[in-house]
Structure 1
Amino acid sequence: MCDSKTSTPKPVSLEVADSAKEEKAKEEQVKKSHPKTDLASRDTPNATQPMDLNAASDSKTITAKSLSVEVDDGTKEEKREDKEVKKTSLKAGLGLGSTDKAKQPVDQNTSSNSKTVTTKCFSLEVDDRTDEERTKDKQAAKNRPKTDKAKPPMDTNYEQERIASKPQIRLNLNFDKGIRGIKVDMKQRAMERFDGDRLFKAVVSGDRRQLEGLEKHLKDTGKRLSDSLYTMGGKSALLKALLNLKDGKNEAVEHLLDISERQGDLDKFVNAKHTEDQYAGQTALHVAIEKRSLHYVKLLVQKGANVHALANGMFFKQKKEASFYFGELPLSLAACTNQEKVVDFLIENKADAGQQDSYGNTVLHALVVLADDSPENTEFVVRMYDHILIKTAELHPKIRLEDIKNKQGLTPIKLAANTGKLGLFEHMLRREPQDEKSIHLSRKFTEWSYGPVYSSLYDLASLDTYEKNSVLEIIVYGSKIPNRQEMLQVEPLNRLLEDKWERFARHLFLISFAFYALYLCIFTTTAYWHKEGRSSFPLVLTKGGLHLTGQVISALGAVYFFVKGLTDMRRKPPKLQNLLIDGYSELLFFLQAILFVAYVVLYVCGREEYLGFMVLCLALSWINLLYYSRGFKHMGIYSVMIQRIILGDILRFLLVYIVFLVGFSAAVVTLVDEPPDQNNTDLIKNLTSKSNTTLPVPTSDSEETDQDKPKFQNIYLASLELFKFTIGMGDLEFTENYKHTKVFFIVLILYIVLTYILLLNMLIALMNKTVDRLYDESTNIWKLQRAITILDMERCLSQHFRKKLRSGVEIDLQKNGEDCRRCLRVEEVSWEKWNSNLCIHEDPGNFAKPSTTDTKPERDEEESQRSAVSSPILDGED
């Protein structure tokens, strides 16, 4: 296939002209001039001899490359203007005549009226199959299931590979043999002919002797190894050979490459891609890398393999099902499979480490995706990441790999933060190469150290919120990110949040708390003095004025919480998992605003139901005061525990308890008899009132006694009475209107055992265990919630104040103005590193009195230990 941008036809092409007459006239002119020309005249790509299709069957040796058919989509006017140029070009290409004008290249751009014509080419392959074989292949393709639900295997030796099913125009070498009566010796043909099945079996075996006669067959038939007839199961013979290495070798690989090179089709053959949608784009170079064969990687690159080929089939996408995403590029595949030598070879042979795949990911992004935080995986990913970074910096100093963004706008460090790859992320922040040539790749610079204490400067590039879509914002607001709490404890993020809190967030938080407390007092006072005729304060001159002012202030506060709630939910949709970590204070504030709006609407409409909404809003407003506990460590941790228990243990308890309560309430109501007919009682009362007579009204019991007894007439009342039993306040003086006394007692006792004894005690035990388990986790969650508060307050600041209150200091690393960075100074203490460097080993458990002979050696050992401990300190070493 080829695409060209010129209207000048190639010499050996069949043009689609604007009329059939011109086409026929040109063909007749070609036949008269060269009636005996055959395919053998096109040994070289630049041959200008025409081809007589009718003479193909008489030719024994066909060495032509593929024909090309050009499609001209120019207008009729353009064709008419370019008619003479086309005729001259055609004559020159066919060798019918030569003029000075014809020998000159045609430059259509010199004409102001000329227009570039886009031509599309496709190859015309040679087909030497018999009619029976062709029919058999068509039937196999027809019987293939249309819906390809079953994924085709990448390679198999247990079933027959299928030929490529895409339509292909081919030249039939046997089209006239039946007409001319030429008989074919099928046995001889079977021995000499190489079809796809025979070729694939030969390359799978790895025996070069089975490929004898292949090159002669290709030369005789004019076929190429890159033809579609030699593409089976979506892969070429070269891919098949590399997928079937034995002990890392397959002699067929070199033999196939040599044949293709002698045929002049090497570039197309070595870069042939897998055509199945599942494995589309995979080349021989990908397979050689995956097979960990440095020998074949070098051979393929030497033969012209594309080092930037993209394997972008469905198997190579990021999916939950069985797949392997490695970055689609050969370099990314080598890096993700931990082949350092292959990585070095590819980088040294024009493989661009900054090349991006279909996701926009580079090799560094691919390593981030591959990381899984296990110790072994983290060690290899970190080593490979640094190796590629340093290697690229040596060969291409101007390329900054870590600044390249993918299609999501994420650099490698932001991608690590967004996917929660804690081990690799921590290494990125703390990377400090000791080599002077690689010092510019460092993100950490140690200033001084004294004992276990050392001071470091951390680069804030991409970390601080001063930049758009910073790492800190990604972690704090990324509710789906695993390890969020732990990532915020990594320096310098932990110190950066503390610095922001000390600089401005704490003061703004206290001001916000004071305003909310004032708002709460005003709302409470307004709600308490809501009755008509009572003013907010006992002042005659201001009667009703302060009450109205309080209502206006309460309404403005509700509007603020409503708008803020909508903004928060748009940025961070509420989900159960989010509520467990981020808390649900924003949701409660939004619910408070909704209740207040409902209260105001009903109050204006004159409905008495407003009182219920007002009471609920008032209670919720005081509960929301706990939001400000996150500004204080111990109160914040306590509040987090309450949130986790409510959404965890209590929520599960309520779900089970409601099932028990409804089920037993329905059972109790079913056992209770219906009370006397109220209609009959009302009728008797009416009759006695009209006749002024006194008749006895039927009653089952005295009304005073019934009022004191529990009611079980419906599920609602039964649920209320059974709930009292749950909390130990139930009344055992039941009504007598029930059937089957024994069954009633059994149901009631069973309910008390399951709820009052079992569920409540389980709830207490689970809450006790939850508190012990979640204390350390609650501390991290509190820090995360406080970080959300800090960034929310920073968003409210203007750009001027954000710049003025920005954390860190400007550092000129090279002292020439070429490498200025914003860094944050952090002082850290590492007793573990300090103790390991000292190598102190004590054994206080041996209290036996030493012998006199052993005294001197022990004293010498103790003195050597003292010198080992004291000498670094005295010498000023660390």
Structure 2
Amino acid sequence: MDDGKSQDGEEPKSPEEEEDSFDWLLGRDSPEIEHAPMDTNFLMTNEYTNTDGTASKVFTRERVFEAASQREASQLSGLLDYLRDNNQQLTSPEFTDEINGKTALLKALLNVKDGKNDTIEVLVDIAEKTGDLEDLINASYQDPCYKGQTALHVAIERRSFDHVKLLVEKGADVQAKANGNFFQRKTGLGFYFGELPLSLAACTNQPDVVSFLMENSHRRADLTDRDSQGNTVLHTLVVIVENTEESTEMVSLMYDHILITHCKLEKKSDIQLEEIENDKGFTPLKLAAKLGKKGLFEHMLHREFIDEEMRPLSRKLTEWVYGPVHSSLYDMTSIETDEDKSVLEIVVFGSDVPNRPEMLQIEPLRSLLQDKWDRFASKLFLMNFLMYLLYLLILTAVAFYRKKGQPPFPVQNLPLDHLRCFGEVVSVVGALWIFFKALASFKRKPPRFKALYMDGFSDILFFLQASLLLICTVLYFCGKKEYVGILVMSLALAWINVLHYLRGSKQMGMYSVMMQRMILVDLFHFLCVYSVMLLGFSAAIVALHEETPRMVKKLINGTMVLVKGKPRCKKPCYNNIRFTILEMFKFTIGMGDLGFTDRVEYKEVFYILLILYIVLTYILLLNMLIALMGSTVERTSKESENIWNLQRAVTILDIERTLPRCFTNKLYSGVSKMVCLGGDEDKSRKFFRVEEMNWKQWKSDLGVIREEDPGEEMMKSVPNKEPLRKRWKLNPLLQRIRARRQPSPLSSIP
């Protein structure tokens, strides 16, 4: 207007009055009206003039947002008429935040209190009457932080079940993805929930919302849908769970609830939720193994449903029970090494996987590894040990009976010379084999300090041994005598690597683990501190050293006079830094010599330095090292067995990888514990039998066995019956159970 009045007909305000009005808007002086934190601080007009000259309310974005944040539905009275008169909608730019795309509905849902905000129903009703209901409900944030978040996401996050139902009934997109930075993994402060509304409800422990989204008659959530990282709702639960009892229990219940609900709704579907892989090729079970989620991982492996309808979801089937003895069948899907990225390989070779040793003690991984060791790995490991000893003896003989002089040496026509040449060839070929084997191991599990702490450093030592011997070969053919020094270093490492084969014995293997821990922790820290002191005191003594020249008599002009002669010290002395470091090291181990002090000046200063050095190193550091090693033995004695099991597991799978599959099957001995169950050969499932002792559970309701004889009904559902029948008859424990005729029913197992 140009008449000097404001839009509401009042006179223009002075600067002081204008400042007071801003104070009122900011809530500084007038507590009557409460404003939301993100509301605007600018003046809003209250009325406008219709075409017929009558006054009516003026609705701006700020006014509508304020009503939504205050949960005052009465302030929206007349909004519908205003929108119709001005040909606008709630999704028009005038009513949308131009910065982040927030709408009035999002504003209202963000200000839900006790599950209520009366303006939400009013806004939905207005949008429905103005024809932009679907656009309003599915409008999302546009800023990079909260991009993609819709009203349904906000309603779920605010735990308002009534508003979730309202939005879904009105056409909310249940597959909308909130993929802003705040909702991504490893982006700092934020919460990753899988981007989808169903995943958000599952991760925030809202089973009623999860059930509604899966079962509603309007639009059901697609459980196979994946987020930007390829994760389904089950993957997301694995990601967010923590290794605590409370978190594991909550996520386990939600995980099972989703599986059960999906099974009931999709009875004839061939889609298996747990077989869906994310972008990195991990199923939920494999992802739990990769992330080291020990509690949920154990729950997934031990999941067992007694109800016949839900039994296909079980990964564990109780075969029979006799007192505390339980015979269980564990599903080998995704676990055995015959699959790509198997669970066993992920845990064993994953140097960055937390809780690796503890996870390998979970059934059926523990029994499966023990079975592999007993049936073929132990025999092959012993063969490898004997072959390595033979190779080591040949290498030792080659180094001991080497020729003296300038290499390379011609091969003479003598039996001993031919034998020496043969030994050299065997040594080099063996070094090549060890070298490439170590490279393959590094490719599979790159060497890291944490990996050394768990897996040991035998691969690195083998690699150094082979590399030194290959370098020695190059120097030999280049005519360098220095090849001898490299050869003896390789020989020393070769004998040290015999300790690698201590893994075959439990007691010796645990002893080797403790040695590795002491070297990598206690001795490493000691050497870091000791090196500083050794270099510092050695440099001080070299700087202090100034040997007194020898005075000799000499005839000059017929007169005998004393003149300075040549120094007595012809050998390296304390003005040489390398000699000084060696002598100071001798003082540390109690082998030092003080005979040189009569030939140096400033003896008092030297004695002070020497006493300080001995106190700090020989008395303090060495005794501290001994104390720390004793503490390490006590601390690691409890976990050394688990670490030894991990190292042995690495050895088992390494041996298995080097053999063709046909050879591995032939090396199996004894009774197979693998059982195939299923209606036909294509849909059969592999199970691994484990006999467990459960002293806390004496009575079990079996959901698997329905006949008196534990083996009869099972053979009806096995495609290849004859081999399995032989396995049952060969099982001594089963023979005893069958002889006692323990009544335990067996049903058809899907």
Give the aligned residue type for 2:565.
Answer: T
- Taking the aligned partners of 1:162 and 1:235, their CA distance within structure 2 comes to 17
The separation in 1 between residues aligned to 2:471 and 2:130, in whole angstroms, is 83
> How far is 1:768 from its partner?
0.7
Secondary structure (helix, strand or coil) at the match of 2:687 reads: strand
Aligned to 2:401: 529
Match of 1:820 among 684, 687, 694: 684
CA contact (8 A) 1:672 1:737 kept: no
How much does 1:735 deviate?
A: 2.8
Superposed counterparts of 1:12-91, under 5 Å: none
| Unaligned runs of at least 5 residues, structure 2 | 1-34, 43-47, 702-739, 746-750
CA distance in 2, matches of 1:764, 1:565: 34
Q: Pick closer, same or farther for the CA change 1:162–1:520 going to 2, 3 Å.
A: farther
**Aligned residue in 2 for 1:732:** 594
1:466–1:803 CA contact under 8 A, matched in 2: no
Shift of 1:319: 1.3
Which residue of the partner structure matches residue 304 of structure 1? 171
8 Å Cα contact 2:60-2:95 kept in structure 1: yes
CA contact (8 A) 1:466 1:802 kept: no
Contact 2:547 2:601 in 1 (8 A): no
**Residue 654 of structure 2 corresponds to which residue in structure 1?**
792
- What is the CA distance between 1:229 and its match in structure 2? 2.7
**Residue 36 of structure 2 is aligned to residue 157 of structure 1:** yes
Map of 2:231 onto structure 1: 361
Give the count of matched residue pairs: 652
Per the alignment, residue 203 of structure 1 pairs with 68
Task: Measure how far apart 1:799 and its partner are.
Answer: 3.0
Distance 1:574 1:553 in 2: 28
SS of the residue corresponding to residue 597 of structure 2 reads: coil
Q: 2 CA distance for matches of 1:656 and 1:524?
A: 36
C-alpha distance in 1 between matches for 2:231 and 2:398 = 59
Deviations 1:544-565 (A, max 9, x none): 1111111100000111112122
Query: Is 1:322 paired with 2:184?
Result: no
Equivalent residue runs for 1:307-456 within 5 Å: 307-319=174-186, 321-349=188-216, 350-397=220-267, 398=269, 399-456=271-328
Q: Shift of the alpha carbon at 1:819?
A: 5.0
For residue 543 of structure 1, report the CA deviation from its aligned partner.
Answer: 3.3
Give TM-score scaled by structure 1 length: 0.70
The DSSP-based 3-state class of the residue aligned with 1:385 is: helix
State the shift of 1:874 in Å.
14
Q: Is residue 451 of structure 2 the alignment partner of residue 591 of structure 1?
A: no
Deviates more, 1:733-742 or 1:210-219: 733-742
* Equivalent residue number for residue 373 of structure 2: 501
Structure 1 match to 2:500? 627
Kept in 2: contact 1:270–1:300 (CA 8 A): yes
* Superposed displacement of residue 250, structure 1: 0.6
Distance 2:417 2:486 in 1: 22
What CA distance in whole angstroms lies between the structure 2 residues aligned with 1:527 and 1:597? Answer: 14
* 3-state secondary structure, aligned to 1:226: coil
Residue 611 in structure 1 maps to residue 475 in structure 2: no
Task: Give the 3 Å change call, closer, same or farther, for CA 714–189 of structure 1 in structure 2.
Answer: farther
CA deviations 1:433-481 (Å, max 9, x no partner) are 1111100111111111111111111111110001111000111111000
Are the aligned partners of 2:198 and 2:213 in contact in 1 as well (CA < 8 Å)?
yes
CA distance in 2: counterparts of 1:274 and 1:194, whole angstroms: 22
Structure 1 pair 161–551 and aligned structure 2 pair: CA distance change class (3 A): farther
Give the counterpart of 1:833 among 665, 674, 697. Answer: 697
Change (3 A) 1:793 1:214: same
Partner deviation per Cα, 1:653-685 (whole Å, 9 max, x = no partner)? 0000000001111111121115659xx99xx99
Could you tell me whether the CA contact under 8 Å between 1:661 and 1:722 is conserved in 2? Answer: yes
Q: Which structure 1 residue ranges, 5 or more long, are not aligned?
A: 1-155, 164-182, 689-693, 838-872
Distance 2:515 2:381 in 1: 22
Deviations 1:285-340 (A, max 9, x none): 01111111110000000000011110111100001511100111111111111111
* Map of 2:446 onto structure 1: 573
Residues 219 and 428 from structure 1, CA distance in 2 versus in 1: closer, same or farther, beyond 3 angstroms? same
In structure 1, C-alpha distance between the alignment counterparts of 2:36 and 2:440, rounded to whole Å? 59
DSSP 3-state at the match of 1:823: strand
In 2, the alpha carbon distance for the partners of 1:249 and 1:405 equals: 39
Identity %: 53
The one of 59, 62, 81 equivalent to 1:216 is 81
Q: Name the SS of the counterpart of 1:436 in structure 2.
A: coil
Q: Is the 8 A contact 1:332 1:366 kept in 2?
A: yes
1:734 alignment partner, SS class: helix
Cα shift readout 1:557-600 (whole Å, capped 9, x = no counterpart)? 11111212222222222111111111111111111111112211
The separation in 1 between residues aligned to 2:578 and 2:54, in whole angstroms, is 92
Q: Which moved more, 1:547-556 or 1:507-516?
A: 507-516
Greater CA radius of gyration, 1 or 2? 1
* Change over 3 Å in CA distance of 1:206–1:554 after alignment to 2: same
Cα offset, 1:228, TM superposition: 2.7
Which stretch shifts more, 815-824 or 457-466? Answer: 815-824
Aligned with residue 383 of structure 2, among 507, 511, 514: 511
Letter in 2 for 1:653: F
Aligned residues: CA RMSD = 3.2
Contact 2:377 2:655 in 1 (8 A): yes
Question: Which of 699, 705, 717 is the aligned partner of 2:565?
Answer: 699
* 1:511 CA displacement: 1.2
Aligned equivalent of 2:723: none
Spell out the pairing of 1:683-698 with structure 2 (5 A cutoff). 698=564
Q: Is the 8 A contact 1:273 1:282 kept in 2?
A: yes
State yes or no: 1:480 paired with 2:352: yes
Distance 1:803 1:315 in 2: 51
Letter in 2 for 1:358: S
Preserved contact between residue 431 and residue 443 of structure 1 (Cα < 8 Å): yes
Structure with more contact order per residue of length (Cα contacts < 8 Å, sep ≥ 6): 2
- The corresponding residue for 2:152 is 285
Q: Is the 8 A contact 1:368 1:424 kept in 2?
A: yes
Post-superposition offset of 1:875: 10
Which letter does structure 1 place at the counterpart of 2:252?
Answer: V
Say whether 1:550 aligns with 2:423: yes
Distance 1:746 1:362, change over 3 A: same
| Offset, 1:254 | 0.3
